[in-house]
Amino acid sequence: MIAAYERRASPLHAARAPVAAAYAIALVSSVLLFEHPLALVALAIAILGAGVLAGAGRSLARAALFAIPFAIAIALINPLVVREGLTVVLRLGELGALGKIDVTAEALVFGAILGLRALLVMLAGGALLAATVDADEVLQRFRRISAHSALTAALAVRLVPVLGRDARRLADARRCRPNAAARPGPTERLQIVRAVATGALDRALDVAATLEVRGYATPAAVRGARRLREPWSRHDLAFAASALGLVALALGARLSGVATFEAYPRTLAPVGAAEIVLALALVIVALLPFADRRGVQR
């Protein structure tokens, strides 16, 4: 399910779109830079906290419904395909092409960590980004760099929900037919996808013709791109600083050897004062910009 952007009265929504996007991307980058469970738990708190404080809790919950099974699948598959780890907890013997399968505690732990990371990436990079970043504003600003790319991206972003609505209408129409089942089977799903794909090509031709008629092909349209020059608000500055702070913390921890994690052959995840301070710092740096709620009704 694609979370839709909706302007809400929150500090994150009050920040300009590229800054909000950078904030979400910084959260994703931090998740990808860490394997230490404590750091990941801190980032999970930060991402969920940011979602709730930005009024996007429901979007995150909806995304989690789809992401959690995916994360569980990763957590379960890892111990079956990885031949690492010293602590055998379950011996499954020879399983055909997979060979000898010994499930180890280390592979289970790392599978859980990989699953958690996938979940957090989907929440921060998918739901939070989509719910708090105005794609139109990003594209409008991006137009200054490359008008053609911005136009392509804008059309793609616009066409995805249009095609989604097409698919729903086709599915509704299918259900209206006599003897139709409540839910489409695999064959009927394929028919709908084929119809939507064909429709997408037709729409693409229509859009191209319309753009040509409106003069988008002429250089004047490119030159006429409006430049947005707004001073940076306190929310812009706060979230930009937060994004930089998150990346700096993650890179600093990696370079200084704090929150190191070794998955194999034995799970090593040292938890000391440095790791605890880092975890607290990640949460504080990520959520501090939400403390200032002045001017959130932009």
264 touches another protein by CB under 8 A = yes
CB of 83 to another protein, least distance (A): 4
Q: How far, in Å, CA of 27 to CA of 9, rounded?
A: 21
86 touching another protein, by CB under 8 A = yes
Considering only 77-85, 122-130, 170-178, 242-250, which stretch makes contact with another protein by CB under 8 A? 77-85
Q: From the centroid of its chain, how far is CA 48?
A: 13
Span interacting with another protein, options 92-100, 117-125, 142-150, 181-189, rule CB under 8 A: 92-100
If the CB atoms of residues 89 and 271 are measured against another protein, the closer one turns out to be: 89
Cβ atoms within 10 Å of 94's Cβ, excluding its own: 9
Burial class (CB in 10 A: 0-12, 13-18, 19+), 222: middle
Instruction: Give the angle 23-66-72 at the CA atoms, nearest 5°.
Output: 100
| In the complex, minimum distance from the CB of residue 134 to another protein, in angstroms, rounded to a whole number | 42
Does position 83 interact with another protein (CB under 8 A)? The reply is yes
CB nearer another protein, residue 94 or residue 230: 94
Measured in whole angstroms, the distance separating CA 287 from the mean position of its chain's CA atoms is 18
Q: Rounded to the nearest whole angstrom, what is the least distance from the CB of residue 260 to another protein in the complex?
A: 16
Residue 85's closest CA among 213, 214, 235, 267? 267
Binding another protein (rule: CB under 8 A), the pick from 12, 67, 82, 138 is: 82
Q: Which of 18, 102, 140, 211 binds another protein (CB under 8 A)?
A: 102
The size of the interface with another protein (CB under 8 A), counted in residues, is: 17
In terms of Cα–Cα distance, which of 267, 230, 217 is closest to 110?
Answer: 267
Is residue 88 a contact residue for another protein (CB under 8 A)?
A: yes
Question: For tokens 């249009």, what's the residue?
Answer: 162
The token pair that represents 68 in the structure block: 């959690």
DSSP assignment of 182-238 equals SS--HHHHHHHHHHHHHHHHHHHHHHHHHHHHTTTTSHHHHHTPPPP--PPPHHHHH
- Residue 16's CB: how many other CB atoms inside 10 A? 22
Give me the least distance between CB of 89 and another protein, in Å please.
Answer: 6
Cα–Cα distance for residue pair 195/32, rounded to 1 Å: 38
Q: How many residues appear in the chain?
A: 298
Q: Look up tokens 């000898």; give the residue.
A: 100
Question: Judged by CB under 8 A, does residue 100 bind another protein?
Answer: yes
Contacting residue, 66, 69, 84, 214, with another protein by CB under 8 A: 84
**Contact status: 265 vs another protein (CB under 8 A):** yes
90 binds another protein (CB under 8 A): yes
With binding defined as CB under 8 A, does residue 87 bind another protein? yes
Q: Least distance to another protein from the beta carbon of 74, Å? A: 14
- Residues forming contacts to another protein in the complex (CB under 8 A) are 81-91, 94, 99-100, 102, 264-265
